[in-house]
């Protein structure tokens, strides 16, 4: 097992541990930190796979923008909320049973069906920024523009929500 | 275990963990973060398959998912803040009267 394989296993274990911690941590800030750790480990996996573009975006957009925003909101909200004392809803036990069934079914159904060594992973042989940018802006420029419409709609909706909350309280 | 199998199994596990988190957790913000974990699992499977096929198109799709996730958070956080201001709690059970 080479050093790259070891790193891949390490990052996979770290991201899985982050996901499990998210389920059991009590305070939302700890959940957010576990999610950040999981996302950074996923960025490491992407970098090992040679898809550096996505690794950079994962850190910059997800961790840098989305999760910092989330941490900021957690700091804004009241920490004496009773929702933070009790972690699990009434569906905890059916949810756990469903989780085991779902994961077992998915792994049995999907992983067993994957093609074997014929297309085995080629670490470090992903595609660079050039291929990504050419595919993105040559073929998918319309989708790119449509995402800007989506973002504009999200901004308008956020402003509308804030106006609705102002209307209720004078 | 094959490397592809490891990564796809990890993607499935992350997706399932996120889904069960949305179901069993009580705090609205934690439920939102579990949704992000589900998106991350899907992204991992997309990146794995794109890297194997050598197709940059998969990375384009992942990038578009990033944008959609950002838009989702940008609209979900104001809604959560609005709910928290109205009922002074983030407990999902406090909003059970929303069901039809």
Q: Is there a domain that residue A39 lies in?
A: yes
Q: Which residues contact A5 (CB under 8 A, 6 or more apart)?
A: B3
Q: For the segment A8-62, what is each residue's pLDDT rounded down to a tens digit?
A: 999 999 999 999 999 888 888 999 999 999 999 999 999 999 888 899 999 999 9
Q: Strand pairing partners for B27?
A: B91
pLDDT tens figures, A81-126: 665 667 777 777 888 888 888 888 888 888 777 765 444 545 546 6
CATH number of the domain to which A87 belongs = 1.20.120.1200
Q: Does A155 touch chain B (CB under 8 A)?
A: yes
Q: What is the pLDDT of residues A151-165, one digit of tens each?
A: 999 999 989 988 887
Helices (H) and strands (E) in chain B, counts: 3, 0
Q: What are the extents of the domains in chain B?
A: 3-98
A107 touches chain B (CB under 8 A): yes
Do both A32 and A65 map to the same domain? yes
B5 Cα distance to chain centroid: 22
One domain for residues A61 and A104:
yes
Pair A165, B82: CB distance under 8 Å? yes
Instruction: Give one DSSP letter per residue of B39-87, joined into a string.
Output: HHHHHHHHHHHHHHHT-HHHHHHHHHHHHHHHHHHHHHHHHHHHHHHHH
Does residue A36 form part of some domain? Answer: yes
Query: Which residues of chain B make contact with A123, given a CB cutoff of 8 A?
Result: 3
Q: According to CATH, what is the number of the domain B3-98? A: 1.10.287.3510
**For B94, phi and psi rounded to 5 degrees?**
-70, -15
A77 interface with B at CB cutoff 8 Å: yes
- Please give the radius of gyration of chain B, using alpha carbons only, rounded to the nearest integer: 17
Question: pLDDT at residue B24 above 70?
Answer: yes
Interface of A with B in 121-140 (CB under 8 A): 121-123, 125-127, 131-132, 134-136, 139-140
Report how far residue B42's alpha carbon sits from residue B77's, in angstroms, rounded to the nearest whole number.
Answer: 22
Across residues B84-92, what is the average pLDDT? 81
Average of per-residue pLDDT across A134-162: 90
* Partners of residue B54 in chain A, C-beta under 8 Å: 125-127
> What value does the mean pLDDT take over residues B77-98?
82
Among B12, B40, B62, select the one facing A39 at the smallest CB separation.
Answer: B40
B87, B95 contact by CB (below 8 A): yes
What is the pTM for the complete model shown?
A: 0.88
Predicted ipTM > 0.90:
yes
pLDDT band at B58 (very low <50, low <70, confident <90, very high): confident
Find the domain containing A64 and state its range.
3-127
């Amino acid at each position: 097992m080479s050093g790259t394989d070891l790193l891949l296993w390490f990052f996979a274990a770290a991201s899985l541990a982050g996901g499990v911690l998210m389920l059991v941590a009590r305070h939302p800030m700890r959940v957010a930190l576990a999610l950040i750790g999981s996302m950074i480990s996923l960025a490491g996996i992407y970098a090992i796979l040679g898809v550096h573009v996505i690794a950079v975006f994962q850190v910059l957009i997800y961790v840098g923008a989305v999760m910092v925003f989330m941490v900021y909101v957690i700091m804004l909200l009241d920490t004496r909320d009773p929702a933070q004392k009790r972690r699990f809803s009434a569906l905890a036990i059916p949810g756990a049973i469903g989780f085991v069934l779902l994961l077992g079914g998915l792994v049995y159904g999907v992983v067993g069906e994957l093609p074997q060594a014929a297309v085995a992973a080629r670490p470090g042989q992903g595609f660079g920024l050039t291929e990504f940018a050419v595919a993105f802006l040559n073929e998918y420029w319309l989708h790119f523009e449509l995402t800007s419409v989506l973002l504009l709609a999200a901004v308008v909706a956020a402003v509308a929500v804030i106006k609705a909350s102002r209307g209720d309280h004078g | 275990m094959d490397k592809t199998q490891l990564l796809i199994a990890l993607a499935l596990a992350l997706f399932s963990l996120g889904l069960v988190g949305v179901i069993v957790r009580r705090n609205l913000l934690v439920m939102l973060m579990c949704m992000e974990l589900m998106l991350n699992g899907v992204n991992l499977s997309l990146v794995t398959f794109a890297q194997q096929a050598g197709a940059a198109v998969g990375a384009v799709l992942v990038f578009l998912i990033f944008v959609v996730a950002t838009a989702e958070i940008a609209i979900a956080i104001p809604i959560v803040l609005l709910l928290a201001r109205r009922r002074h709690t983030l407990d999902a059970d406090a909003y059970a009267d929303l069901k039809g």
